[in-house]
Amino acid sequence: MFEDFLSPISSEFQVPYRYTVQFTKGIFHLTNPSLRNFLISEQKEGAIKKALVVLDEGLTLHYPNLMTEIKTYFQGFDSVVQLTGNIMVIPGGEECKNNPILWESLVEAVDTYGIDRHSYIVAIGGGAILDLVGYVAAVSHRGIRLIRIPTTVLSQNDSGVGVKNSINHQGKKNFLGTFAPPVAVFNDLQFLESLDDRDWRSGMAEAIKVSLIKDKDFFHWIESNGYFLQSRNLEKMSYLIHRCAELHIDHIANGDPFEFGSSRPLDFGHWAAHKLEYLTKFSLRHGEAVAIGMALDTVYSYQKDFLPKEDKDRILSLLKKLGFVIYHPELSANAKENLYLGLQEFREHLGGRLTITLLAGIGEPREIHEIDLKILAQSVDFLETYV
Amino acid sequence: MFEDFLSPISSEFQVPYRYTVQFTKGIFHLTNPSLRNFLISEQKEGAIKKALVVLDEGLTLHYPNLMTEIKTYFQGFDSVVQLTGNIMVIPGGEECKNNPILWESLVEAVDTYGIDRHSYIVAIGGGAILDLVGYVAAVSHRGIRLIRIPTTVLSQNDSGVGVKNSINHQGKKNFLGTFAPPVAVFNDLQFLESLDDRDWRSGMAEAIKVSLIKDKDFFHWIESNGYFLQSRNLEKMSYLIHRCAELHIDHIANGDPFEFGSSRPLDFGHWAAHKLEYLTKFSLRHGEAVAIGMALDTVYSYQKDFLPKEDKDRILSLLKKLGFVIYHPELSANAKENLYLGLQEFREHLGGRLTITLLAGIGEPREIHEIDLKILAQSVDFLETYV
Ligand SMILES: NC(=O)c1ccc[n+]([C@@H]2O[C@H](COP(=O)([O-])OP(=O)(O)OC[C@H]3O[C@@H](n4cnc5c(N)ncnc54)[C@H](O)[C@@H]3O)[C@@H](O)[C@H]2O)c1
Ligand SMILES: NC(=O)c1ccc[n+]([C@@H]2O[C@H](COP(=O)([O-])OP(=O)(O)OC[C@H]3O[C@@H](n4cnc5c(N)ncnc54)[C@H](O)[C@@H]3O)[C@@H](O)[C@H]2O)c1
Ligand SMILES: [Zn+2]
Ligand SMILES: [Zn+2]
């Protein structure tokens, strides 16, 4: 047969990515060089680049001058990068990921303003806005350069420094999305001052998580600084964010950045968290749900004899010390069915075999592939009565 | 300031990709091992994988038994991979990329059938179906494993062996899409027999293109085999496809796979082609439009004194020999405005500076950053009267 002569053709290559997370305060003050220097460093002969700025509405309420500041800031180097049309203000929070109209209007703006692949989309806000805008940037023209300016604890230490984006689709959390690294991230710590207490606290859940699976010393640091953290000390919080972001980025860069495999240690506590977010119709913040999910998997790890009692107690008491609630009635209502479905959905989203990260100690993750639903229900009971 | 202690965090990594393009005939014959072997080679302990098959309706018309064959074929190893629900049959051709309902229904199927990231979506059909299904696979759960079985000349030698997908959005060609390599490609040459003459011919435009910018010898081969190629000799066509695919893959793997830069030599002839496809409301096939676009850029290269007259004549006469029409009235109607807009749109899609590939000889590309619209209009006139 002649096709025998048509040998298989192999395609093999690596795609390189590189970006930096910078820490600053007052990023749009005229004297702040961070963003300007980055944009100037990227300048190429030929065309002036455009920037479409998308802003979390939650910020405009606390910083009424922010839009003017941003415009003035960009005017300072408009021979390099020009703001397009109006700054787009989008309601923040999970709702923006549920609303296909917002997605559509952003894609529309990319078209209307002629944002090309070498222009920028600058997303400023919480993790939800960053996820939505990141997804728009990733699929428009097959990828526009994305700059993230995260403004919550969670987005500065976790979601905003990583490589994922997503929106919800037909009631399924993060059903649509891509892996698409940003070109730069700027963590402006000043924005954290206006967070309400829930959002201030919620983001710390990811720091506890990453300490539990990667860095015992960091866990100790959080324990020792619990008082300052829960009483809104910005300096301590800045350190927490920096270390958490560092561990997170390290994990991405030295692991499996686009998650081709099915192991996901960074998702400790997340399978139950995702389910709880839905069951509570997102009345729980992501971090609040993660705190409960970690508490559950901590107790389960203990009840399966993986984790010493002392470690379990330290984890639960740190969560409580920081102000987290570690139980939710939705865990018990139809517990068996809901938790079973939660595991199912988690497996489906990751694909392949069920892989859940538990703990063998603080800083010692342990992967398992089966969950004993009976013991899990006992763990729920344990949390319900834990004080 | 305390944030001085918070040093920037750099994230730097490479994402590896690998896939093979295999050539075969009768891929769903029970005795054909290609696809089965691939799927078995990927088997992992734990779960049976699922496969959602999406089929180009154009094929079912010519191969009424195809759906049954596919089902029977998969039954042979259903302890490894299981077909989900029904095979989805989708109308082929550009219209499927214009229709958001089809996109939606495919995403729906991923959800309904519980296709996870380690399951497969198998897309069988022309370049349009592959682009649509590839986009669905890329964004569902942030990326499901995609197997492509291209069934047209164009998709076997170009679109189906590369790393891009897309759909059209609000009248803009390929406005939404991603870079997302498949996990495997199977070129089944037997499918080519049912192509109508236009689709048989049209795909050869990409082979001429790649020969013009990369491989003089291949151009000679096409010239010498012009008679066989236009009289539908499958053996010659198979060679043409193989060599074209090889050059294409080589370009991707050794260049800039996800097109972060703004040079795109593989887009020779394409800026005018994209505009023409729209102006003619897709009554032109992609390859037919590319043939006209190449003719235009060939003549322009000649009129700018980059390209010797002899080369220009050989190129135009090869195109004609293979049956391509190298002029379209839409080139002249509002020529100046439309061509100007076409260049604009091309620049916008790629981003950055305008970069157009012209020819300095056969196999010798030359990049330019400006087009002289007056000379371009003369090139159009030249083509109009060329016989
Ligand atoms: N992409 C990822 O890798 C990843 C990882 C984890 C979580 N996430 C996603 O992140 C989202 C949660 O993000 P979040 O916790 O940042 O909350 P959020 O984005 O939902 O924001 C919470 C509220 O805070 C407001 N806000 C934002 N910044 C503010 C500020 N500086 N001051 C006052 N108010 C402010 C917002 O308007 C919103 O009302 C979820 O959708 C989750 O799925 C994504
Ligand atoms: N992703 C990329 O890198 C890339 C590159 C080039 C082109 N493209 C896209 O590819 C598309 C064009 O693809 P195409 O030229 O393969 O045409 P097509 O997919 O539009 O198919 C043309 C027609 O042929 C039918 N058909 C398919 N296989 C057949 C067969 N074996 N026998 C009989 N009929 C068959 C289809 O049903 C359709 O009606 C365009 O949308 C173009 O933008 C993509
Ligand atoms: Zn999280
Ligand atoms: Zn093409």
pLDDT in tens, A318-370: 999 999 999 999 888 777 788 888 888 887 766 667 889 999 999 999 999 99
Average pLDDT score over residue span A275-285: 89
Average pLDDT score over residue span B334-343: 80
| The pLDDT of residue B261 | 82
Chain B contact for A107, CB < 8 A?
yes
Q: State in Å: Cα B286 to ligand 4 middle.
A: 7
Average pLDDT score over residue span B258-278: 87
With a cut of 70, say whether residue A66 has pLDDT above it. Answer: yes
Closest CA to A201 of A329, A64, A318: A318
Chain A contact for B8, CB < 8 A?
yes
- Pure H helices in chain B: 34-41, 57-62, 66-75, 95-98, 100-112, 127-139, 153-157, 197-202, 204-214, 216-224, 226-230, 234-253, 270-279, 286-303, 309-321, 335-350, 373-385
Q: State in Å: Cα B101 to ligand 1 middle.
A: 31
pLDDT tens-place string over residues B184-207: 999 999 999 999 999 999 999 999
Residue whose CA is at the smallest distance from ligand 2 atom 19: B126
Mean pLDDT, all residues of chain A: 93
Distance CA A176, CA A166 (A): 5
Helices (H) and strands (E) in chain B, counts: 17, 11
| The pLDDT of residue A46 | 61
Average pLDDT score over residue span A128-145: 97
Which of the listed residues B270, B286, B294 should we mutate to test ligand 2's pocket, taking the one with most ligand atoms within 8 A of CB?
B286
Chain B contact for A13, CB < 8 A?
yes
Ligand 1 atom nearest to CA at A194: 32
> A20 and B13: CB-CB below 8 Å?
no
| The pLDDT of residue B349 | 67
Question: For residues A120 and A43, is the Cβ–Cβ distance under 8 A?
Answer: no
> B3 and A118: CB-CB below 8 Å?
no
Chain B contact for A198, CB < 8 A?
no
Confidence category of residue A281, pLDDT binned at 50, 70, 90: confident
Q: State in Å: Cα B210 to ligand 4 middle.
A: 10
Average pLDDT score over residue span B355-376: 94
Distance CA B175, CA A112 (A): 12
Max mean pLDDT among A166-180, B180-194, B264-278 falls in B180-194
Average pLDDT score over residue span B233-261: 95
| The pLDDT of residue B344 | 83
With a cut of 90, say whether residue B89 has pLDDT above it. Answer: yes
pLDDT tens-place string over residues A10-47: 999 999 999 999 999 999 999 999 999 999 999 876 67
Mean pLDDT, all residues of chain B: 93
Percent with pLDDT over 90 in chain A: 82
Terminus-to-terminus CA distance in chain A, angstroms?
A: 75
Distance CA A90, CA B40 (A): 47
Chain A contact for B16, CB < 8 A?
yes
Confidence category of residue B4, pLDDT binned at 50, 70, 90: low
* Of A103-107, A219-223, A281-285, the least confident: A281-285
> A369 and B45: CB-CB below 8 Å?
no
| Domains of chain B, residue spans | 20-194, 197-385
Tell me which of B322 and B43 has the higher pLDDT.
B322
With a cut of 60, say whether residue B1 has pLDDT above it. Answer: no
| The pLDDT of residue B345 | 80
How large is the ipTM?
0.94
CA distances from B23 to B55, B65, B132, B150, B190 (A): 19, 22, 23, 11, 10
Q: Which residues of B touch A13 (CB under 8 A)?
A: 16-17, 252-254, 257
Surface of A (346-365) touching B: CB under 8 A: 347-353
Look up residue B138 and give its amino acid: A
> A238 and B2: CB-CB below 8 Å?
yes
| The pLDDT of residue B197 | 97
| The pLDDT of residue A350 | 66
Chain B contact for A42, CB < 8 A?
no
Domain A197-385, CATH: 1.20.1090.10
With a cut of 60, say whether residue A2 has pLDDT above it. Answer: no
Q: Which residues of B touch A164 (CB under 8 A)?
A: 142
Surface of B (219-278) touching A: CB under 8 A: 235, 238-239, 242, 245-246, 249, 252-254, 257-259, 262
| The pLDDT of residue B347 | 78
Q: State in Å: Cα B45 to ligand 3 middle.
A: 28
Of the listed ligands, the closest to the CA of B284 is 2
Ligand 1 atom nearest to CA at A134: 1
Which of the listed residues B131, B271, B282 should we mutate to test ligand 2's pocket, taking the one with most ligand atoms within 8 A of CB?
B131
Distance CA B78, CA B48 (A): 8
User: At A222, is the secondary structure helix, strand, or coil?
Assistant: helix
> B16 and A14: CB-CB below 8 Å?
yes
pLDDT tens-place string over residues B130-145: 999 999 999 999 999 9
The residues facing A12 across adjacent strands are B18
- Into which CATH architecture does domain B20-194 fall? 3-Layer(aba) Sandwich (3.40)
Average pLDDT score over residue span A115-134: 96
